[in-house]
Amino acid sequence: MRGTVVALATRAPASALPLRVPTVQAVAGRGLDGDRHADPHSPRQLLLAGSAAYDDLGLPPLALRENLLVDVDTVGLESGMLLAVGLEAVLRLSFQCEACGALDARHPGLARAIGARRGILARVVQGGAIREGDPVRILDRRMAPMAEDWRERVLQVLDAAPPGMVVDYATLARLAGIQSTYCRAFPRLLASRGYAGRAVPARSASPAPRWAGAGLWD
């Protein structure tokens, strides 16, 4: 697969709105320089959306709040794929981005209309400048995929934790790429799947050392 970067956008930490830019610097292990989602713990450092979804639905620019708009079908992209973007940057695809209610705030009904076509989330594994018009291509090698279901991602993260270590709920949510509100579901989920005690609330008295995700993205 080969494609092109059609447009770029970032969201400053204090801003709720994306801003279109001609170029952006991807930072390995962190995300896009100056973007509010830059986070070394997160699998959702940036969002790629496909231009076909915009064309088919007649959407205004940045309606999907993406960082990279590309002229390829993001629905066909799979977790674990590596995408070379421009001359240097390499992205690791994480999982498809759910159409949440935030899309409806400015464009009522968009979440339902877009369905599974909002785009795919990714991490930066190799940094470099990304510019409008840059080529995009899938590399031959892949990395371990992440589950599309958030529950399975939570368990994947816990499976990667070193023996004897625990993860606090907030860190677990970041590593699994879900909102902190999901932490309320952790006790029941972990107990039902045999993972009780592997993750704990931040104020837990557990003496076990805390794991912050070291090595998870290697």
User: What are 144-175's pLDDT values in tens digits?
Assistant: 999 999 999 999 999 999 999 999 999 999 99
More confident residue, 59 or 138: 138
- The pLDDT tens digits of the residues spanning 76-119 come to 999 999 999 999 999 999 999 987 767 766 778 887 878 788 89
Task: Assign residue 83 the CATH number of its domain.
Answer: 2.40.33.20
User: According to the model, what pLDDT value does residue 1 have?
Assistant: 73
User: According to the model, what pLDDT value does residue 46 have?
Assistant: 97
Residue ending a domain, among 124, 142, 160, is 142
Based on the domain organization, do 170 and 75 belong to the same domain?
no
pLDDT at 132 over 90: yes
User: According to the model, what pLDDT value does residue 59 have?
Assistant: 86
Q: Where are the alpha helices (DSSP H) in the chain?
A: 51-57, 110-114, 150-160, 169-176, 186-192
* Predicted model pTM: 0.93
Based on the domain organization, do 81 and 165 belong to the same domain?
no
User: pLDDT band at 184, cuts 50/70/90?
Assistant: very high
User: According to the model, what pLDDT value does residue 104 have?
Assistant: 65
Which of 196, 194, 174 has the alpha carbon at shortest distance from 183?
Answer: 174
Based on the domain organization, do 164 and 110 belong to the same domain?
no
pLDDT at 178 over 80: yes
Mean pLDDT of 15-26: 92
Q: Please give the Cα distance from 96 to 78 (Å, whole number).
A: 8
Question: What is the average pLDDT value for the chain, to the nearest integer?
Answer: 93
User: According to the model, what pLDDT value does residue 105 have?
Assistant: 67
Residue ending a domain, among 117, 142, 167, is 142
User: According to the model, what pLDDT value does residue 15 have?
Assistant: 76
Residue ending a domain, among 142, 172, 192, is 142
Based on the domain organization, do 163 and 106 belong to the same domain?
no
Q: Please give the Cα distance from 126 to 2 (Å, whole number).
A: 19
User: According to the model, what pLDDT value does residue 58 have?
Assistant: 87
User: According to the model, what pLDDT value does residue 101 have?
Assistant: 66
Quick one: CA dihedral 179, 167, 47, 116, positive or negative? negative
Annotate 188-209 with b (16+ C-beta within 10 A) or e (fewer).
ebbeeeeeeebbbeeeeeeeee
For 47-61, 160-174, 185-199, which range has the lowest pLDDT when averaged over its residues? 47-61
User: pLDDT band at 49, cuts 50/70/90?
Assistant: very high
Question: In which domain, by residue range, is 71 found?
Answer: 2-142
